[in-house]
């Protein structure tokens, strides 16, 4: 699958594979409070962040992980990032972060639903895993609103997480 050929859209959002042109806007939005629930630490500089996003580009090219920039339609404003990880496994992993000043607009749910629906149709995925920090109630509500059920727990040095399974059959857009 060609990176440039992927274009995923919803009513309000556009998801495109991360590119170097997204880096400055993404870096500007990564804050200590945002990264408290992320798998990576707050990058200390643009060059430290570049090492992270360069690995994303390599994973996208290899077709094993996809990191998408989330932008508003039609204005193209940067909202955050969505991830579809380990796409070659039976249950790929979903991830999301939304810039703090855009919280409360249901962009996270819309982006996760849009990405998972695309993956279910394009990659023939029947279900997804969605790990979430136990304390991250906003992300937990996303998983639960999509029919996610808890299938496990995982502890890291950073936080304890709960792992949801989200069946693709629950991803039809709601009116």
Per-residue pLDDT band for 3 (boundaries 50, 70, 90) equals low
Strand duo 93-98 + 65-72: pairing: unpaired
| Strands in the chain per DSSP E | 8-9, 13-17, 65-72, 78-85, 93-98, 127-133, 149-155, 160-167
Count structural domains, the chain. Answer: 1
Output the CA–CA distances (angstroms, integers) from residue 55 to 19, 48, 171, in the order listed: 11, 11, 29
145, part of any domain? no
Share of the chain above pLDDT 70, in %: 95
User: pLDDT digits over 27-85, tens only?
Assistant: 999 888 888 888 777 788 999 999 999 999 999 999 999 999 999 998 899 999 999 99
pTM: 0.90
User: pLDDT digits over 12-43, tens only?
Assistant: 999 999 999 999 999 999 888 888 888 777 78
167, part of any domain? no
147, part of any domain? no
| Strands in 40-155 per DSSP E | 65-72, 78-85, 93-98, 127-133, 149-155
For residues 148 and 168, what is the distance between their CA atoms, to the nearest angstrom? Answer: 10
79, part of any domain? yes
55, part of any domain? yes
Min mean pLDDT across 24-38, 87-101, 152-166 is at 24-38
40, part of any domain? yes
For 168, phi then psi, to 5°, come to -60, -25
In the sheet with 149-155, reading across from the earlier edge strand, the strands are: 8-9, 13-17, 65-72, 78-85, 93-98, 127-133, 160-167, 149-155
pLDDT at 44: 86
163, part of any domain? no
Range of the domain at 84: 3-126
For residues 73 and 83, what is the distance between their CA atoms, to the nearest angstrom? Answer: 19
Q: Residue 30 sits in a domain of what CATH number?
A: 3.40.630.30
135, part of any domain? no
């Amino acid at each position: 699958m060609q990176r440039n050929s992927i274009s995923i859209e919803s009513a309000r959002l556009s998801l495109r594979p991360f590119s170097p042109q997204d880096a400055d806007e993404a870096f500007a939005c990564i804050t200590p409070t945002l990264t408290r629930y992320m798998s990576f630490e707050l990058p200390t500089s643009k060059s430290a962040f570049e090492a992270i996003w360069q690995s994303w580009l390599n994973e996208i090219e290899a077709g094993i992980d996809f990191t998408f920039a989330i932008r508003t339609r039609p204005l193209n404003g940067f909202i955050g990032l969505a991830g579809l990880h380990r796409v070659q496994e039976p249950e790929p992993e979903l991830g999301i972060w939304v810039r703090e000043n855009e919280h409360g607009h249901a962009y996270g749910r819309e982006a996760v639903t849009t990405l998972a629906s695309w993956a279910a149709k394009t990659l023939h995925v029947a279900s997804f895993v969605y790990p979430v920090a136990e304390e991250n109630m906003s992300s937990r509500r996303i998983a639960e609103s999509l029919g996610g059920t808890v299938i496990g727990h995982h502890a890291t040095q950073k936080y304890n997480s709960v792992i949801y399974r989200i069946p693709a059959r629950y991803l039809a857009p709601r009116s």
